[in-house]
Amino acid sequence: MGVMSRRVLPACSSLCYFCPSLRARSRQPVKRYKKIISEIYQLPADGEPNDRRIGKLCDYVSRNPTRIPKITEYLEQRCYKELRHDNFTLAKVVPCIYRKLLRSCKEHTPLLATSTLCIVRTLLDQKSSDDLQILGCLLLVDFLDGQVDSTHMFSLEGMIPKLCKIAQELREDDKGIRLRSAALQALASMVEYMGDHSHISMELDEVVSVIISCYEANQTLSIKEVVRFQDDDDLTMLAVSGQNNAKVAADTMSASENPAHWARVCLRNMANIAKEATTVRRILDPLFRLFDSHNYWSPENGVALSVLQEMQTLMDKSGQNGHLLLSFTIKHIDHKSVAKMPAKQISIVKVASHLAKQAKSHASVTIASAISDLVKHLRKCMYRAVEASNAQADIDKWNSELYVALEECLVQLTEKVGDVGPILDMVSVMLENLSYTANIARTTVSSVYRTAQIAAYVYKSSYNQKAFPEALYHQLLLLSLLRP
């Protein structure tokens, strides 16, 4: 194994055959890794490095971890040398070695981390070689798979813009599709890693833009394909506990080369981050901004419905509160970016109606809050109808369409509550805070009355034996006394 030292003089500098100092300088292998690496670089005819020789280097590393810094430095210099001379075939050897090292020497990952990240950055910058960029993305996936803490979070976040830029290259050739898939796979791993360590990237807007652009490019995989995909075994297999959600088994290779597949995995990992109201808001804000700026809200032609439906299903399956997504969608009707755009508001309400149909039936505070928001919008529609003049025919048309959409959404949400009690309690609170302005008070009462009619229609067979709510009865008495 080792190489005996040729030095025969002991420390006393005098030659003595029986001197105990006359022994080998080291019985450890001396620079044997260079010989192994040189053998790896003896590529066969197909140009792919020999796995058996790489495995030999991995065995050497596992037995001699103290030599890892020298090995990584040697590999880095060799990689940079080949890149300078545009020897891309030989440059591919180094990322292949690193991938094998990360998989087989997981206990030594911290010693490999800094060098691995340097190699990944270098490979992602190689715009003249798709193969090297693909290897860089896959090397990053393997690296993230072995991370157990957030030590390298800052360095990793700096790679997100590069990955997004690669993922947005809409080339239709085979290598272009493979490159885009590899970049999205790396983004999926990145989102999952950051979610595991309670971190939301500052570049989330850019990540969302990449995911949605992939949905738009694959418009044929819209609502029907989303439903099919949610039941697909590929996605179920990716959610196996203890495994990296961005890893793919050999029998799903066709899915791993599909950018739409990895866009959905990214979306699923984003949905897993949204565990309470604050993180749900952080995840949905960039989505909603993108939907507003690109007119994606249309249920017929946009991607907002398919994306939000998939997120809702994933959140419900993972035991999270899917009602939060529905509630935030309804609250977005009031957002300043769509407040003066009735067409977009109608589309948002229609999307919310579809989400309400898919939502779980459960009486929650979130659903009650969403119903309250819808009632307020009903009141605004009624108020605009009262204030509108005959010259504002277009406004009246949009207002009528919005009113119909709000009523439909209110019916869907009322069915999900499961009990008329929370709705009547909400109605009594609205009457308690009645405005002193005559028109606003009248429209509030009208919207509350319409809500009560819808609730009575939905639950007409279930509340016959129930007592009338005392709080609502009290507010109705006060209201009757205020009538002129």
Per-residue pLDDT tens digits for 217-236: 765 444 444 444 444 444 44
Q: Residue-wise over 360-389: b if at least 16 C-beta within 10 A, else e?
A: eeeebebbbbbbbbbbbbbbbbbbbeeeee
Looking only at Cα atoms, what is the longest distance across the chain?
A: 124
* Contact between residue 406 and residue 412 where contact means Cβ atoms under 8 Å apart: no
One DSSP character per residue, 144-185 reads: HHT--SSTTHHHHHTTHHHHHHHHT----SHHHHHHHHHHHH
148-157, 383-392, 456-465, range with greatest mean pLDDT? 148-157
Instruction: Provide CB contacts within 8 A for 232, sequence distance 6+.
Output: none
12 falls in which pLDDT band (50, 70, 90)? low
* Cα→Cα distances 427→267, 446, 481, Å: 37, 11, 18
Instruction: Provide CB contacts within 8 A for 289, sequence distance 6+.
Output: 205, 337
Helix (H, G, I), strand (E, B) or coil at 95: helix
* Contact between residue 198 and residue 276 where contact means Cβ atoms under 8 Å apart: no
Q: Which of 161-175, 348-362, 468-482 has the lowest mean pLDDT?
A: 468-482
* Contact between residue 155 and residue 117 where contact means Cβ atoms under 8 Å apart: yes
Calculate helix-pair angle for 393-417, 421-432, nearest 10 degrees.
130
* Contact between residue 44 and residue 50 where contact means Cβ atoms under 8 Å apart: yes
Q: Which of 22-36, 202-216, 224-238, 282-296 has the lowest mean pLDDT?
A: 224-238
Which amino acid is located at 227 in the chain?
A: V
Query: Is the per-residue pLDDT at 1 higher than 80?
Result: no
Helix (H, G, I), strand (E, B) or coil at 319: coil
* Contact between residue 214 and residue 259 where contact means Cβ atoms under 8 Å apart: yes
User: What span, in angstroms and rounded, lies between the C-alpha atoms of 449 and 431?
Assistant: 11
442 falls in which pLDDT band (50, 70, 90)? confident
What average pLDDT does the structure give for the chain? 81
Tokens linked to 29: 């292998």
Q: Which of 181-185, 265-269, 270-274, 394-398 has the lowest mean pLDDT?
A: 394-398
Residue 44 burial (CB < 10 Å; 0-12/13-18/19+)?
Answer: exposed
Q: What per-residue confidence (pLDDT) applies to 95?
A: 95
Tell me which residue of 193, 111, 109, 180 sits closest to 153, measured CA to CA: 193
Locate all alpha helices (DSSP H) within 31-159, ordered by sequence: 32-40, 51-63, 68-84, 88-91, 93-104, 109-124, 130-145, 153-157
Query: Is the per-residue pLDDT at 189 higher than 80?
Result: yes
* Contact between residue 178 and residue 166 where contact means Cβ atoms under 8 Å apart: no
User: Cα 2 vs. chain centroid, distance in angstroms?
Assistant: 51
Instruction: Report long-range pairs for 199-205 (Cβ below 8 Å, ≥24 apart).
Output: 199/150, 199/153, 200/273, 200/279, 200/282, 200/283, 201/157, 201/160, 202/157, 203/157, 203/160, 203/161, 203/164, 204/282, 204/283, 204/286, 205/286, 205/289, 205/290
Instruction: Compute the Cα dihedral for 120, 124, 129, 135 and give only its sign.
Output: positive
Rounded to a whole number of angstroms, the distance between the first and last alpha carbons of the chain is: 105
Among residues of the chain, what percentage have pLDDT more than 90?
41
* Contact between residue 308 and residue 231 where contact means Cβ atoms under 8 Å apart: no
User: What span, in angstroms and rounded, lies between the C-alpha atoms of 442 and 382?
Assistant: 9
Q: What per-residue confidence (pLDDT) applies to 468?
A: 60
For residues 314 and 257, which has the higher predicted lDDT (pLDDT)?
314
* Contact between residue 16 and residue 22 where contact means Cβ atoms under 8 Å apart: yes
Calculate helix-pair angle for 470-482, 421-432, nearest 10 degrees.
30
For residues 255 and 148, which has the higher predicted lDDT (pLDDT)?
148
Can you tell me the mean pLDDT for 327-352?
A: 92
Tokens linked to 215: 């949905």
User: What span, in angstroms and rounded, lies between the C-alpha atoms of 75 and 123?
Assistant: 14
User: Cα 138 vs. chain centroid, distance in angstroms?
Assistant: 18
Q: What per-residue confidence (pLDDT) applies to 45?
A: 72
Query: Is the per-residue pLDDT at 250 higher than 50?
Result: no
The pTM score is 0.80
